[in-house]
Chains A and B, each alone.
Chain A
Amino acid sequence: EAGVVQSPRYKIIEKKQPVAFWCNPISGHNTLYWYLQNLGQGPELLIRYENEEAVDDSQLPKDRFSAERLKGVDSTLKIQPAELGDSAVYLCASRVGGNYNEQFFGPGTRLTVL
C-alpha cells in the first residue's frame, strides 16, 4: 500500500513569492491534515479536512495561507505571499475515521524562504 505522498520535497523561494504544496493521502483515508513543523519542534496543526470539507482551520493564517481538497482526495496548501518566517517543514497526514486511529504522515516539504 502506498503511503502519503507529498511534493515537492524541497522548495526554495524568494520572499513575497507564492508557493504551493501537494499531498496525496492514503487511499480510503477520509481525514487529511496539514501541519507546520519548525526546526526542533513538534508538528502544529494548520488545517483538518473531513472528505472535502475543512472542519478545523482555526490555526491557518488566512491572510496568506489557503488550502483546498477538491473531490475529497488530493489536497493543496498555498502560501501567497511567502514571508521569511514561513521557512519550515510542511507535513501532510491522513487517517481513517474513528477515535483510536493513528495518523500516517508524508515525508514533508521543506520550504526555505530567502
Chain B
Amino acid sequence: SQQGEEDPQALSIQEGENATMNCSYKTSINNLQWYRQNSGRGLVHLILIRSNEREKHSGRLRVTLDTSKKSSSLLITASRAADTASYFCATSSAGANNLFFGTGTRLTVIP
C-alpha cells in the first residue's frame, strides 16, 4: 500500500503560471521528499524537507510541510514546458531507510 496521496491527480497550466501540488500522508514521518518523473524515465530527486522544517526553497521550487495536518505542498513558480512530468511525494519514517511514494500528480505545462 502507498503512504501518500497527491492532489490533484492531473494538472494542466499555461507556461509561466505557477503549479501547486499537494500531498497527504498517514503516519509520522522523519522527512518528506519530492521527486519528478519524466515519461519513460526514472525518478529524479527534487527536494527534501525534514519533519522539523516548515518551508524550504530550491530555485523555482517551494515546499511546505504541516506535520499537524500530515500534508505537504510543492509549488513550482514560473512554469516551463520542460516541467511537464509526474511529481511524487515520498515519506520516510524515523529509523527507517525506506521511502513510501504517493500516487503522483501528472503536470502538463502548455507552451
Residues of A within 8 A of B (CB): 4, 31, 33, 40-45, 48, 50, 56, 91, 93, 95, 99-100, 102-108, 110
Contacts and interface: CB of A to CB of B under 8 A. Distances in A.
Interface in B43-102: 43-45, 48, 50, 88, 90, 92, 97-102
B49 to A, nearest CB: 10
B27 interface: no
B44 A48 contact: no
Nearest to A99: B30
Size range of the chain B interface in the assembly: 20 to 34
Given A105-B42, A106-B42, A31 B2 contact: no
B101 A91 contact: no
Contacts of A48: 97-98
20 contacts: A31-B97, A40-B104, A42-B2, A42-B4, A43-B43, A43-B101, A44-B2, A44-B101, A45-B100, A48-B97, A50-B97, A93-B43, A99-B30, A100-B48, A100-B50, A103-B45, A105-B42, A105-B43, A105-B44, A106-B42
A31 B99 CA distance: 12
Nearest to B99: A103
B53 to A, nearest CB: 11
A57 to B, nearest CB: 12
Contacts of B100: 45
B20 interface: no
Which of B2, B30, B98, B104 is the most central at the interface, judged by chain A CB atoms within 10 Å of its CB?
B98
